[in-house]
Amino acid sequence: MFWPPLLVAVGGGLFYGLTSPGGLDWHYPVLGAGLGAGYGLAQVFLARTGRLADSFLLPVAAMLTVLGLLFIARLDPTLAQRQFTWAIVGLAVMLLIAVGLPDYRRLAEQGYTHIYATLGLSLLAVTVIAGSEAGGAKAWLTLGSFRFQPAEGVKVLMVVFLASYLRRYGHTLAIPRTATALPPLHVVAPLIAFAGLSLLFLVAQRDLGTAIIFYSTFLAMLYLATARLAYVGGGLGIFALGAVFSFYLYPHVQGRVLAWLDPWAYINTYGYQVVQSLFALGAGGLLGTGLGLGRPDVIPAVTTDFIFAAVGEEMGLAGSLGLLALYLLLVARGYAIARKADDAFGVLLAAGLTSLLAIQTLVIVGGVTRLLPLTGITLPFMSYGGSSLVTNYAIVGLLLRVTPGEERQPGHPLTVIIAAVMALFLAVVAQLTYWQFFQAEALAANPHNPRFAAMAGETKRGGIYDRHGELLAETRGVGNGFARYYPLGEVTAPVLGYVSPRYGQAGLEEAANAELMGLGGRAGLDNRLRRLVGQKARGYNLQLTLDAGLQRLAMDLLQGRRGAVVVMRPQGQILALASRPTIDPNRIDTLWEQWQKDPESPLLNRAVQGLYPPGSSFKIVTGAAVIARRPDLLGKTYFCPGEVVIEGRRLGCWGVHGEVDFSRAMAVSCNVAFAEMALALGGENLTGAAEAFWFNRPLPFELPVKPGYFPDLTAAQANDVAESAIGQGRVLVTPLQMAAVTAAVAGGGRMFRPYLVERVLDAERTVRAVPPTPLGNPVTPEVAGRLAASLELVVSQGTGGRAGLPGVAVAGKTGSAENPHGPAHAWFTGFAPARGAEVVVTVLLENQGSGGEAAAPLAGKLLAAALEKAGVGE
């Protein structure tokens, strides 16, 4: 069984020897062969001397050690040489214990039991007093040039003490299961004292990772000896209290918990290591980058705390799961020894030592994958660290000495412990699969990923084209790398955003980064092959729904103003999305600081990120609610004296409209009439209508969109209902959402997801076509038709006349949204033709006053241009 680690050791040595910068270096394969042969000879020697309780245990430990050495050598050759030495020492310690210990049962003799506890606690106490600090934990002792972690050895002493003590008193602690029965104080006091002092010393050292391993192993062994889950439950309760205490007492513990809950929010502080670990796992994907081709070196403490992340990056999910399988085999063989041990002490000793290895593996891999908070401990046999490696081999030596007897039957507490450990391993497998398979592309495309900058210099980013094939963004060769160029400059900036190795990404460049960089699917595999043979990788091209001509017009019409324009089809295709002020992404390196300080906020995309009160343009939603839920209100008339007072609050109108019905109220935008209809409709109905049009939830779109807000009016006061019905008060909306609302009416009551990317293309073919995606039916076709007829009157007879077009019926709604910070915002949102709509246009102008005067003329020009392109009205 020793041939797998021998082959890996020799093969790894040859790999490093052949790839050495100075040419072929026989030093590596000779050392690898020597180490592999050493393990093989040790296995043969143990078998010949009858000290081989399990034939798999040492080969698995050897395989893990060799793999660890390969990755440490790849990351830091100097550390690898030291680790090689510690591996030899560890092997010697294992042989000394396995062969030199005459009878492991002598460890349980009464005279020794308290020596283990005293020695262990003394070592921990000395560390608290005279230890040195590293990584936030005071866990090291230094003797001359020799530095070691006493807690590593104390873990083994703890297991031996507990196995000895619980063998003697386990039956006493397994008291009858009654509410009043308690174990004798003289029996339970030493256990409480040992566990309490151990944890106290470890907490004082701020070595909370080791404390978790100590405590978890203690609970496992206590349950094994007593079969009482009450001890485990009580112990977990005490642990929860201690965790809360540590959270508030120690800043570095607080930081690790916060990094676990949301590492992205603390990406430059507490969460940096965790995020870098996830980036490494994502970069590995299914099959890995290949040994030596990843970038795990960007992870701090990668050779100690994050060696598993390095394996995940360079060997992929396949390698990660294979490594977990090795640990699972190691743990399974350890528990098999415990099941067959011929006495209670052997069962407790083998199960305790195995649980120690299992828990340590689960805690560190759980931290690396964000299943658990990061604790900063080593991965058994693999991480760099002499104390840890020698201790792990001491554990193997003790396990090999346990004498086999009759196997325990299912139902024994050991079976429960094994099942719990297996379940935790499955949870780790699920977490790994999530990051390395389902989230791999998202992690690779994250602009905070340091691999992104390196990849950007090696990959020709895909081009972006409008719906007619006009180039909007391309990557040009500059020296040995690439640079991004935008032919239309600021015209397409609100849509495309930018990509910069210094300032990251925004807009569609960020949203479609995976496609543009060729990170997924067939392109991902092709690009890996290109990199292996030294060729530049390339990404997919994108063809957008955008019309470059309409985009130019929209940006020209906004020149000198603050505002936004959205032009789209009723089925969701975005033809233009404009926002001013904006930036020229070609000048990002020279003007970034100026843009950051500019009070006009040119980096804000007002079309999707600007939230504004919609004013009377919201009457589209209120009108839909009235038609659908209170059609009886359509036949009534309302008298408008120019204002109305509701619960002491004045609600003004733009004029004295006299008697108006629903259609006339919509045409002249009568606030009084709509306030009365809203009060009759009721706040609950109005809230339901708004939410049917996707208020209070993010609208699905490639670019980040702020969700529109509509208050819950179920129990609101009458004046709040009236204000909300006319788009004032607390109502807020983005221009994109207002366009989507209008498009739903134009499209017969069906609402579609707005979208920009129409096709993903490679050099030969369409990789993926993006069809329209329905979001639902906020209103019926009948309601949409009745509402469209009233909106047509807005343009033909009311406030939206300046959006009208000769020969084409236009429907729409103006809005003049009161703004506490200055003049009203001007809105117009509409569509044409009014029946069988082809185009939807929404215009928002900040502080421009009347929507009919300021926004409607711009909308008319955009509708005319879009309809001409569509062949309507010619």
- Give the residue carrying structure tokens 């058994």: 380
Q: Write the CA distances from 422 to 317, 429, 464, integer angstroms.
A: 19, 11, 49
- How many alpha carbons fall within 13 Å on the CB side of residue 345? 18
> In angstroms, rounded to a whole number, what is the distance separating the alpha carbons of residues 609 and 604?
7
> In angstroms, rounded to a whole number, what is the distance separating the alpha carbons of residues 406 and 338?
10
Closest by CA position to 579, among listed 511, 506, 510, 504: 506
Residues 6 or more apart whose Cβ sits within 8 Å of residue 111: none
547 is written with which tokens? 């019309």
User: Is the Cα dihedral 43, 49, 55, 61 positive or negative?
Assistant: negative
For residue 756, the cross-strand partners are none
Q: How far is CA 711 from the centre of its chain?
A: 30
Q: What is the DSSP string of 461-503?
A: PPPEE-TT--EEEEEEEETTEEEEE-TTGGGGHHHH-EEETTT
Alpha helices, DSSP H, located in 682-734: 683-692, 718-725
Classify residue 746 by burial, with Cβ atoms within 10 Å: 0-12, 13-18, 19+.
buried
Other beta carbons less than 10 A from residue 406's beta carbon? 9
> In angstroms, rounded to a whole number, what is the distance separating the alpha carbons of residues 733 and 745?
17
759 is written with which tokens? 């096709």
The answer to whether 708 touches 733, Cβ cutoff 8 Å, is yes
686 is written with which tokens? 């109005």
> In angstroms, rounded to a whole number, what is the distance separating the alpha carbons of residues 756 and 542?
10
The answer to whether 824 touches 847, Cβ cutoff 8 Å, is yes
Catalytic status, residue 669: no
- How many alpha carbons fall within 13 Å on the CB side of residue 606? 24
- The active-site residue, picked from 616, 617, 663, 816, is 616
**DSSP reduced 3-state for 81:** helix
Buried b (16+ CB within 10 A) or exposed e, 5-36: bbebbbebbbbbbeeeeeeeeeebbebbeebb
> In angstroms, rounded to a whole number, what is the distance separating the alpha carbons of residues 185 and 170?
14
> In angstroms, rounded to a whole number, what is the distance separating the alpha carbons of residues 280 and 275?
9
> Largest Cα–Cα distance of the chain, in whole Å?
109
DSSP 646: E
Residues 6 or more apart whose Cβ sits within 8 Å of residue 643: 650, 651, 652, 653, 672
The answer to whether 583 touches 602, Cβ cutoff 8 Å, is yes
Closest by CA position to 347, among listed 262, 423, 432, 405: 405
> In angstroms, rounded to a whole number, what is the distance separating the alpha carbons of residues 864 and 868?
6
63 is written with which tokens? 């395989």
Q: Which residues are catalytic?
A: 616
